Amino acid sequence: MPYTLINTLDSMVYMLVQKDNTININDTKNNLVNNINKLSPQELNDFVNQMAIFIDKSQQSSDGRLGEGEVPKEFVSFLIKLFY
pTM of the model: 0.76
Predicted confidence (pLDDT) per residue in 41-54, tens digit: 999 999 999 888 88
Alpha-carbon gap, residue 33 to 13, rounded angstroms: 11
**Total residues found in the chain within this entry:** 84
Q: How far is CA 2 from CA 6, 33, 52, 72, in A?
A: 7, 14, 9, 22
Print the domain residue range for 49.
3-83
> What's the number of domains the chain is made of?
1
Predicted confidence (pLDDT) per residue in 7-63, tens digit: 888 888 888 888 888 888 899 999 999 999 999 999 999 999 988 888 888 888 777
